[in-house]
A and B are shown apart, each in its own frame.
Chain A
Amino acid sequence: MSEFLLELFSEEIPAGLQGWAVKELEKLICKSLKEAGLKHGEVLTDYYGPRRLALVIRDVADKSPDISEERKGPRVGAPEKALAGFLRSAGLESIDQCEIQSNKKGEFYVAKIEKPGRAAADILGEAVREAVLHFTWPKSMRWGAGRLRWVRPLHSILCLLDGKVVPLEVEGIKSGKQTFGHRFMAPDALTIKDFADYEKKLATAFVLTHAKARQKAILEQAQKLAAKEGLELVEDEALLAEAAGLVEWPVVLMGKFDKSFLEVPPEVLTTSMKKHQKCFSLKDPKTGKLANRFLAVANLVAEDKGKAIINGNERVIRARLSDAAFFWEQDLKVPLEEMAGKLDNIIFHAKLGSQGERVERVAALAKELAPIVGAAPEEAERAAKLCKADLVSEMVGEFANLQGLMGRYYAQKQGESETVAAACEEHYRPQGPSDAIPTEPVSIAVALADKLDILTSFWHIEEKPTGSKDPFALRRAALGVVRAVLENGVGLPLSKLIETAQVNIIEQHDSFITWTPADPDQAKEDLLAFFADRLKVYLKDKGARHDLIDAVFSLDGQDDLLMIVRRVEALGVFLETDDGANLLAGIRRAVNILRIEEKKDKRSFVDVQPEEKRLQQKEEKQLFAAIAKMDKATGKALAKEDFAAAMKALAALRRPVDDFFDKVTVNDKDEKLRTNRLALLAQIRSATTKIADFSKIEG
């Protein structure tokens, strides 16, 4: 049992790829080991940094096991060609090396192949070589005059098994037992014995190899520096991970910037410092406001204790924040309406016109659906008209992630109502399954109009998401509608709104287009089905039974997502009750009998009315009356969208159905009686189908 240590030492690897690359190496190498039958224990994948990817495999077996294999060959007396082929595949020279065995069909040759196990070092050397040669980076490169591809030039390979070098060579790079310390503080070669030695020697050479330990060191230093000034770190996990991927020996330093920059919105300052400089922001824990300090993560214990580094970073931050402040001031000079006007010059999509035209459509739709969500139509329209204006602002041009938020700030500054300003930001929500949803009526109206327009538009030009391709994030838009509607409890007539959106597009464009748009009705049906799929995914994630969802979706004319969900919920509750479970069995029985008999008779009983005079038994009569009563009651309840009441009405059917099946023979010899009874069952089927398609329910 030995310990294996691999380190691939290269020029600086992009921060975001380091952790991923070690995991890939693990996959590739462990796959090779598995194929070779070499057993091993735990694999460590947390040791990586800008210049090195390390992998440790514990408890590696000394060799792979010997394998003996029997391979069945051709029958005795088979043609020469067949024999030769068999010998070649078995790696034998003469047929005399084979045994002859026999079975019912006669005698045949059997080759006994003995494969001795291979030494671990051989297997590992080959596995590493293969992994390096066949590694698939998102983007790789060549360098010098060589042919090898790696993410950046690869310089050396440290490869040790039980302290001994595992010999291998990849395109002129030979494995060895050396690595190198920090680029500036300890650049000399280090000779390594094993993993413990590797970690220890590198630590003394200013390289913290454990990626998480670097993150922790940054966080601790940052918090300490912040606390000293009575401040609090604005934590940012993504930034922390990135910063840790840019240094081998993190040294956090604090710098200042002029207080006057604090007049610029805090998100702008934080984004500017983070995006351009990978610096952390700090805030005052008492007020929650941003402080005029920042933290830079350097890769050096400087001789001057970081004076020059802080000074340099402060200069860059000053220039960056000056740019941001300039954008802010410039943008404030331009009213949002004026910015919105420039959207006419921005192509949204070759077939869908400009951003300006899209905004027009969204505004019309937002105005129309405003009353449904309890918003004032004029306010929703106003918000929609302004909501994309910030796309042409200087600030959003520089920092795309601030779209929406800047619109909100600019709207506030020019005296728009708070609801309009909020909608400028919130109409983008939700951005995904865990993002917050808009909750203010005006924001909801604009968010829904925005998403319904984009969906209807792309269905109109037949550019729907396919497989993994969804460049316009249409799935996300549909999920956004689903969440905004359900989580706010809004009943939305989707079908009608899609029609309105379609009319908006057609009125804008179709008089001069040269291509053929989708058929509106078909596009609408297809889009509704798309919503249904998104809703199913959403409900399944919430743990709803997929069969209940199917049972409700099978019904015609379901375009109100909220009602669908309420019905699914009511159905679930009903089926949990004793009445529900039994009635389900009864309905199924009815439906099954019908299916069989309808097939036999080659006719449907859907439109056959049971004749009252032919109802003979008490149970038949009771069932007939019960169905009529139930149908009326559920009809009333459904009209009020009171699904609980509908289920209650349905429950009244249980006893009559049970009694009917207990006492009445459906397939009576008298054909007229039989038909009448089947017609009765058909009534059960059609009455219950108004609530759900019970045949879709499992269990």
Chain B
Amino acid sequence: MSKSHKPGQLNPQNSFQDLILTLQQFWAAYGCVILQPYDMEVGAGTFHPATTLRSLGPRPWNAAYVQPCRRPTDGRYGENPNRLQHYYQFQAILKPSPPDIQQLYLDSLAAIGIDAKNHDIRFVEDDWESPTLGAWGLGWEVWCDGMEVSQFTYFQQVGGFDCAPVSGELTYGLERLACYIQGVDNIMELNFNGGEGERKVTYGDIFLQNEQEFSRYNFEIADTDRLLQHFRDAEAECQLILERGKKADHHESVLPAYDQCIKASHVFNLLDARGVISVTERQSYILRVRDLTKAVCTAWLETAGGRANV
């Protein structure tokens, strides 16, 4: 080990962690609060309360954070070069969406080494919808040389409520982006820490075992009866929290209730991966989670965070 540990120049072109740090620096410089990942299993960065809940109500809000995401059905036991059941998203949420948000986004790409003089960057239509969040928005998938590197969405509704003002959500698919800028075909081969030789730690060094074990768990081991019970428990707990927190003119326990929504949603994803949910049941589970989210969002608008400054 070297003696000094002075932070040096970040190099997102050969380090996964420097990619994250660079994006954090970029958005911090813009004025975002840099949050840490939410400490629960979520399917996308959008589930972080910093996006789902903060995108509702009139208060301005600018935040950025990295969020580990879990999509049990996408597990491939670490054998597919670009599909994982656990991966990272970097998310920036700007509310209200500033007029120059597209340029800001392009500047962030430049910061991580994608320069628009040599790369073909395109905004290709994409309508975003999350049935479980009762949310939708319009925007694009952003292509760089034919590869989708981000999703760019203007939130129109969350939990069934109109977003006013509208938030702009930028979601970077970190592994894919890193593969591209590092010139690597397999996520597991990504250089994680930027080290060379013996000091190099790859993505696979950290996550291959994780992918194998969780794929096994998600597809083979998870006890479905217990999961079904967890789903019902989370649903009941969410409803109970909302009921007890409701006061005449405000609500005082929304965030704990939202945690239960997140829990129910993840349990549903696990059940889906276990293949025990039929096509017709699927729809009804989605609707049950959505009902929870809607109730939570309704309550959120009755809290300090969701209301206008008085």
Task: Write the residues of chain A forming the contact surface with B, with a CB cutoff of 8 angstroms.
Answer: 11-15, 50, 139-145, 151-153, 155, 184, 246-247, 277, 279, 296, 298-300, 302-304, 307-309, 311-313, 315-319, 345-347, 350
Contacts and interface: CB of A to CB of B under 8 A. Distances in A.
B310 interface: no
17 contacts: A12-B123, A139-B127, A141-B154, A143-B97, A143-B154, A144-B98, A152-B139, A153-B97, A155-B99, A184-B116, A277-B146, A299-B122, A303-B117, A307-B118, A309-B118, A309-B146, A319-B81
A143 B124 CA distance: 18
Contacts of A309: 118-120, 145-146
Nearest to A326: B80
Contacts of A144: 96-99, 165-166
Interface class of chain A by DSSP: loop
Interface residues of B, number: 37
Given A143-B154, A153-B99, A316 B147 contact: yes
Contacts, number: 106
Contacts of A14: 125
A296 B156 CA distance: 33
A12 B125 contact: yes
A139 to B, nearest CB: 6
Interface string B110-122: 0000001111111
Given A152-B138, A155-B99, A312 B145 contact: yes
Contacts of B156: 141-142
Contacts of B139: 152
A347 B280 contact: yes
Of listed B121, B140, B146, residue having the most chain A CB within 10 A: B146
B44 interface: no
A312 B146 contact: yes
Interface in B129-167: 137-140, 144-147, 154, 156, 164-166
A345 B166 CA distance: 42
B136 to A, nearest CB: 9
B39 to A, nearest CB: 32
Contact of B146 (A304, A313, A345): A313
Contacts of A302: 117-120
Nearest to B127: A139
B185 interface: yes
Contacts of B280: 347, 350
Nearest to A305: B118
A50 B139 CA distance: 13
B279 interface: yes
Contacts of B154: 141-143, 152-153
A347 B120 contact: no
Nearest to A277: B146
A479 to B, nearest CB: 30
Nearest to A307: B118
Nearest to A137: B138
Contacts of B97: 143-144, 153
* Residue from the set B117, B125, B185 with the largest chain A CB neighbour count within 10 Å: B125
A142 B164 contact: yes
Given A140-B138, A184-B121, 20 more contacts: A11-B102, A12-B124, A50-B123, A139-B127, A141-B138, A141-B154, A143-B154, A144-B97, A144-B166, A152-B154, A247-B122, A296-B120, A296-B146, A308-B119, A309-B118, A312-B120, A315-B185, A318-B185, A319-B185, A350-B280
B145 A313 contact: yes
